Amino acid sequence: MNFELTEEQKIIQATAREFAEKELAPAAADLDRGGDRKIFLGNLAKLAELGFMGLGIKADYGGAEAGSVALSLAITEIARACASTAVTLAVNNLVAEIIQAAGSEDQKKKYLRDICSGAYPAASLALTEPCAGSDSAAVAVTAVRDGEEWVLNGSKIFITSAPYAGVFAVFALTDKTALKGKGISCFLVEAGAKGLTIGKEEHKMGQRASATNELSFDNCRIPADALLGKLNSGFTSAAEGLAGGRINIGSLALGIGLAAMDYAAAYSAERAQFGKKISSFEAIQWMIADSYTELEAARLLLMSAAAKRETGKSHMKEAAMGKMFATEAANRACYNAVQILGGYGYTDQYPVERYARDARVTTIYEGTNEIQRLIIAREILKSI
Amino acid sequence: MKILVCIKQIPDMASKFKPNAANTWFTETDLAFRMNEYDEYAVEEAIKLKEKQGADPSDLVVLSVGPARVVEALKKALAMGCDRGVHIHDDESNLKDPWQIASLIAAYAKKENFDIIFTGMQSQDRGSGQVGVTLAGDLGCSCVTTAINFSLEAGVVTAKRELEGGAKGVVKLKLPAVVTCQLGLNTPRYPTLPNIMKARKKEIAVLKAAELSAEGPRAVTEKFYHPVKKGTGLVLEGEPAALAVKVLELIKEKTTVLRG
């Protein structure tokens, strides 16, 4: 058994860490408070230049071909500094991997280069709808074939990066008569498509620098070849990509949890009460011990899932386990970090309240943790 | 043009250093390693020079002395843009003195006839600042230390140096030359991910230290230790406004209170 990263993975991890510390961390608090989005987009462009937007994409399409383990490591390092940047990067890589897995040669050539190079500031996944959250098969946006075009109607909600995405992977109902979930297809819709409107931006609790918007399709006409993968097989085409997405969101949560505990542990070694450093109190030590143990367990689960994905092994169960465990461990770590800082931790003069807000959504998006538990149980029980 | 850049892999300087069993250096157990900061400036400057050569193709070699772990630093330099690597494998390089390290590099470099050699002005861990100048002496090259600006025109190196008290000096020297690099010379590029992956295919030749040089040490480290911590307080004196600035600086430097 070998727990060592390859030299390339170590260099990618170190590059991501250095970039995050120097370029992302100084701006993160201000961007969280509504700072200039140009700075946020500028950082995304720099990350694209370095190859972070297509980590798992083949070199022929402009990617780094660095694999799922490196992607997980990079997202964790970036999330330590700025969770909003990390989620944007995670979604870009997710959309790129879905296109790589299911797209035609023309689609790969057309879209992957622009996502990897940063020509598109971001890429977006449009699955969730007002009435199709955890029940994602309840998609109600329709796509109807009309000659050489598809016509889309309906609305999406909570769509990451919508105002600056160059392309959207949109899930829509193409066969109303099919069994639930069997009549859904995926389409690539370019920004600016006629009939596509970017709706209001949500005011979120955390990850505030990353935009989350409604989308509405009003007789939005897209060419016939915008269909991604097979007709009525949208979920099948995207399943592999979505499993990777879970590893990425677990990795993101891990980064936030580590940032919170690193800050809180260092603080505890300096803050004195009752004439002693608070790190000398058992109550604080237990919080530090519990959180770091859980975060290390999360890291190992995520690495195991990513290594399986990278080597082409089944990883549906492991990805869901990693996502579920890491996001919950990160939330507990952030809770402990705020507790260790006490009243100071509850103010925005210290970064731990931001970490706590940023971590909260990770148990909700990319499949709620309740859905992850269903996936895990299904995967276990189907083999019995 | 043949260019050599010499790099050292050093521990993360935020680490807790523990003395080794003989108390002559620190133990490497549990330490994370990275490229010496001053050597990153050297790598960047060497790559910039190579890129300026244009039609005249140059050969940019990156070299490191040390155990197997230094390959990671070599690969980073290759990902940044060096053409090929040379690893002088030496499991005890951390116990060798600057004379021995320079002798190893010189034994290799003598046969290669490099036009110019870049290295950091010092390592962040041992910090002797002697390897570059000793190498220049060994090879009979001209040498400039602590360069903060560099250019090469018609076979003449022009280098700006930082002197004490904010003064600057400019020196010109003929090739072959050794240039030791100081903070301020440039901003090292990040290696791009595609280049990190492509660097796997670049050659890293492995040479055994024992076969290159058997020079003994000229300066032996007798003892490595942490000085005893003094528990005394700090008394600041002066005008209130100046004191406030000093206190703020101290808080920023010594605590995490203002971080984030």
pLDDT digits (tens, 9 = 90+) for A135-184: 888 999 999 999 999 999 999 999 999 999 999 999 999 999 999 889 99
Locus of tokens 């975060």: A295
What is the model's pLDDT at position B260? Answer: 55
Instruction: Look at residue B213 in the predicted model and tell me its pLDDT.
Output: 92
Q: Using the structure block, give the residue that is written with the tokens 């808080």.
A: B251
A residues 57-86 closer than 8 Å to B (CB): 59, 63-66, 70
**Is A263–B256 a contact, with Cβ atoms under 8 angstroms apart?**
yes
Q: What are phi and psi of A244, to 5 degrees?
A: -65, -40
Whether cis (ω within 30° of 0) applies to the bond prior to B227 is no
Instruction: Look at B54 and B141; give whichever has higher pLDDT.
Output: B141
pLDDT digits (tens, 9 = 90+) for A177-215: 999 889 999 999 999 999 999 999 999 999 999 999 999
- Find the closest chain B residue to A67 by CA distance: B197
Q: Helix, strand or coil for residue A129?
A: strand
Confidence of residue B238 (pLDDT cuts 50, 70, 90): confident
Instruction: Give the closest of B75, B197, B256 to A266, CB-based.
Output: B256
Residue-wise pLDDT tens digits, A123-137: 999 999 999 998 888
CA distance A227 to A234: 9
Question: Nearest Cβ partner of B194 from A19, A51, A270?
Answer: A51
- Written as six digits, the tokens of A6 are 């390859």
Q: pLDDT-based confidence at A360, cuts 50/70/90?
A: very high
Query: Min CA distance, A3 vs chain B (Å)?
Result: 14
Q: How confident is the model at residue A380 (pLDDT cuts 50, 70, 90)?
A: very high
Task: Name the residue in chain A with its Cα closest to that of B69.
Answer: A7
Chain A closest CA to B79's CA: distance in Å? Answer: 9
Active-site positions of A read 366
pLDDT higher than threshold 90 for residue B162: no
Interchain contact A19–B (C-beta under 8 A):
yes
Q: What single DSSP character describes residue B84?
A: E
Place of tokens 């993975």: A9
Chain B residues with a Cβ under 8 Å from any Cβ in chain A: 34, 71-72, 75-76, 79, 190-197, 199-200, 255-257, 259-260
Task: For residue A8, give the nearest of B190, B197, B260 by CB distance.
Answer: B197
Give the one of B193, B256, B259 whose C-beta lies nearest to A66's C-beta: B193
Q: Look-up: residue for tokens 């280049």?
A: B195
DSSP per-residue string spanning A298-351: HHHHHHHHHHHHHTT---HHHHHHHHHHHHHHHHHHHHHHHHHHGGGGGSTTST
Options 1.10.1660.10, 2.60.40.10, 1.10.357.140, 1.10.540.10; CATH for A7-122 is 1.10.540.10
Angle A68-81/A282-310 helices, nearest 10 degrees? Answer: 150
Contacts of B195 in chain A (CB under 8 A): 51
- Min Cα–Cα distance to chain B from A28, Å: 9
Which residues are CB-contacts of B59 (< 8 A; sequence separation ≥ 6)?
B1, B2, B3, B83, B84
pLDDT score of A362 more than 70: yes
- CATH 3.90.180.10 at B2-212, yes or no: no
- ipTM value of the model? 0.92
Look at residue B229 and tell me whether its pLDDT is greater than 90.
no
User: Tell me, what's the pLDDT at B55?
Assistant: 65
Distance CA A154, CA A218 (A): 7
Class of domain A125-234: mainly beta
- The residues pairing with B49 across neighbouring beta strands, listed in sequence order, are none
The CATH architecture assigned to A238-381 reads Up-down Bundle (1.20)
- Region B75-88: mean pLDDT is 97
Domains of chain A: which residue ranges? 7-122, 125-234, 238-381
* A308-322, B55-69, B91-105, B191-205: segment of lowest average pLDDT: B55-69
CA of B192, closest CA in chain A: separation in Å? 4
The CA distance from B50 to B82, in Å, is: 9
For chain B, percent of residues with pLDDT exceeding 90: 80
Section B114-140 average pLDDT: 96
Q: How far apart are CA A302 and CA A255, in angstroms?
A: 12
CB A183 within 8 A of CB A177: yes
**Residues A115, A54 contacting (CB under 8 angstroms):** yes
Candidates B71, B197, B260; nearest CB to A65: B197
Which chain A residue shows the shortest CA-CA distance from B74? A7
pLDDT of residue B259: 65
Q: What is the pTM of this model?
A: 0.91
**Residue B11 clears pLDDT 70, i.e. is over it:** yes
Per the DSSP assignment, residues forming a β-bridge with B149 are: B160
**Three-class secondary structure of residue B230 per DSSP:** coil
Say whether pLDDT at B54 is over 80: no
Average pLDDT for chain A: 96
Chain B interface, best mutation among A6, A7, A78, A116, by max B CB count within 10 A:
A7
Position B50 scores a pLDDT of 94
Terminal CA-to-CA distance of chain B, rounded, Å?
46
Query: Do B64 and B207 meet the contact criterion of CB atoms below 8 Å apart?
Result: no
Predicted confidence band of residue B164 (pLDDT cuts 50, 70, 90): confident
Q: How far is B177 from chain A (nearest CA, A)?
A: 31
Place of tokens 């390092």: A77
